C-alpha cells in the first residue's frame, strides 16, 4: 500500500496529528502524559505505527486508535485510483502552481455600480470567494446582501442554503432568486455537480452539514467527508470557469480542539481552501441593540496582505450597509 500524503495530511491535521521538523512523520500523543505513547504515520517509510517506550509497533490489533488510523490510510489509498476530481481542481488554485486558464481578463466587469458585486469581482474576477467566521459574524447577512444586489441588477443567482438561517421574510425578500435548502451533504454534492447557468452561485454554508455530524463519524467517514468537501469546491471552481460567473461560499472556522494556543484558525476543510481564489474573514467589531458592525478582512489573498481590511459592514434593521 502506498500512503497518499497529500490526501491524508489534511485529515490528520483535523484529527489532531501534527509534525515538528520532520514533515514525513505525523503523530499524535496519548491524552495521558504518563503513557509516553503516540500514534503516527511515516510517509517516507510508508508506515502506520504506534510508538511505545522506545520502539514502533505495527500490528497492535487491540489498539483501536492504530486500527482506525490504518483503516483511514487504506481508504485514502483506495480512493486514489478514482478520477481525481476532488483534488485536481482544488490544487490548481495553489499559489505555487500555474492557474487554470480563464476568460475573465477579456471580459468587461459587468458589476459596475453594484457595491458588493464590484468589490468581489475586483478581487476574484470570475472565480470562488470563501468567507468564513464565527457564528453570528455576518456571513449569511453578507451572502443575502450579495444575492439581493444580483437580483436588483437584473442578473440571476442560485442560493443553496444548508443551515436554514434565513427566515421566511428573508427568503421572500429574495424574490427572483433560485433558492434551495438541504442540510444533507450527499444532496449538496449532487446539486453542486449540476448547478444552473446563472451569474452568481451562493453556498451558505459549505462546512456546516459536515460539522454537525463530524463528532459521530468514524475516522474513515471523516476522511470521506473531507474529500467530498474538496470535491464540492472543485465543482464550484469548475462552474465559475465554465459559466464566467462568481461563486460565494461561506464557511465556519476549524475546531479549536487540539490546537496550540497561538494556532490561527483556518476555514473548516483545510486543503479545500486552496480552491478559493480569495478567503475573507468576518469578525464582530461592535454590537449594539440597534446595529452590529462587522469587519471583513483578508485571510488569504493574492492582492493584499493577511488581515488587510477589505470593508466594514453595518447590519441593522435597515439591512446591510457596506462601508469601504
- All structural domains of the chain with their residue ranges: 5-82, 86-323
Mean pLDDT, rounded, for 264-281? 81
Residues forming a β-bridge with 312: 295, 323
Topology, domain 86-323: Rossmann fold (3.40.50)
Q: Model's pTM, two decimal places?
A: 0.68
Mean pLDDT, rounded, for 245-270? 80
pLDDT (0 to 100) of residue 28: 85
Mean pLDDT, rounded, for 145-163? 93
Q: Which range, of 47-61, 263-277, 283-297, 302-316, averages the lowest pLDDT? A: 263-277
CA distance 9 to 26: 8
In the chain, alpha helices (H) = 5-14, 64-79, 85-91, 115-124, 139-152, 168-172, 185-192, 208-211, 219-243
Q: Is the pLDDT of residue 62 over 80?
A: no
CA distance 38 to 317: 53
Q: 175 or 68, which is more confident?
A: 175
Beta carbons within 8 Å of 1's beta carbon, 6+ residues apart: 46, 73, 74, 77
Neighbours of 205 (CB within 10 A): 25
Residue 220 has φ and ψ, to the nearest 5°, of -65, -40
Q: Whole-number mean pLDDT of the chain?
A: 81
The 278-287 sheet, strands edge to edge: 178-181, 157-161, 200-204, 246-251, 128-133, 278-287, 291-300, 309-316, 319-323
Q: 324 or 246, which is more confident?
A: 246
pLDDT digits (tens, 9 = 90+) for 187-215: 999 999 999 999 999 999 898 888 777 77
CA distance 45 to 64: 22
CA distance 87 to 271: 9
Q: 166 or 7, which is more confident?
A: 166
For the chain, the residue count is: 324
pLDDT digits (tens, 9 = 90+) for 73-125: 776 665 554 443 333 333 333 333 334 444 443 333 445 557 888 999 999 99
Amino acid at each position: 500500500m502506498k500512503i497518499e500524503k497529500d490526501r491524508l495530511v489534511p485529515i490528520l491535521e483535523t484529527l489532531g496529528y501534527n509534525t515538528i521538523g520532520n514533515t514525513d512523520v505525523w503523530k499524535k500523543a496519548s491524552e495521558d502524559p504518563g503513557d509516553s505513547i503516540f500514534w503516527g504515520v511515516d510517509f517516507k517509510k510508508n508506515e502506520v505505527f504506534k510508538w511505545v517506550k522506545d520502539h514502533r509497533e505495527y500490528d497492535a490489533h487491540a489498539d483501536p486508535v492504530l486500527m482506525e488510523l490504518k483503516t483511514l490510510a487504506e481508504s485514502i489509498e483506495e480512493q486514489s485510483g478514482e478520477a481525481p476530481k476532488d483534488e485536481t481542481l482544488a490544487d490548481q488554485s495553489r499559489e505555487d502552481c500555474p492557474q487554470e486558464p480563464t476568460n475573465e481578463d477579456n471580459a468587461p466587469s459587468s458589476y459596475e455600480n453594484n457595491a458588493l458585486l464590484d468589490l468581489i469581482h475586483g478581487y476574484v474576477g470570475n472565480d470562488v470567494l470563501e468567507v468564513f467566521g464565527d457564528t453570528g459574524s455576518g456571513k449569511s447577512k453578507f451572502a443575502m446582501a450579495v444575492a439581493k444586489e444580483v437580483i436588483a441588477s437584473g442578473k440571476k443567482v442560485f442560493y443553496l442554503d444548508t443551515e436554514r438561517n434565513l427566515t421566511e421574510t428573508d427568503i421572500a425578500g429574495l424574490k427572483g432568486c433560485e433558492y434551495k435548502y438541504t442540510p444533507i451533504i450527499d444532496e449538496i454534492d449532487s446539486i453542486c455537480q449540476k448547478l444552473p447557468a446563472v451569474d452568481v452561485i451562493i453556498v451558505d454554508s459549505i462546512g456546516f452539514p459536515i460539522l454537525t455530524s463530524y463528532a459521530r463519524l468514524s475516522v474513515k467517514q471523516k476522511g470521506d467527508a473531507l474529500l467530498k468537501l474538496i470535491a464540492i469546491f472543485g465543482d464550484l471552481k469548475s462552474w465559475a470557469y465554465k459559466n464566467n460567473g462568481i461563486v460565494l461560499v461561506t464557511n465556519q472556522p476549524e475546531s479549536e480542539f487540539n490546537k496550540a494556543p497561538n494556532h490561527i484558525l483556518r476555514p473548516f476543510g483545510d486543503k479545500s481552501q486552496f480552491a478559493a481564489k480569495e478567503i475573507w474573514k468576518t469578525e464582530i467589531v461592535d454590537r449594539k441593540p440597534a446595529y452590529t458592525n462587522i469587519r471583513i478582512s483578508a485571510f488569504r489573498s493574492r492582492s493584499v496582505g493577511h488581515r488587510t481590511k477589505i470593508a466594514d459592514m453595518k447590519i441593522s434593521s435597515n439591512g446591510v450597509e457596506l462601508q469601504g
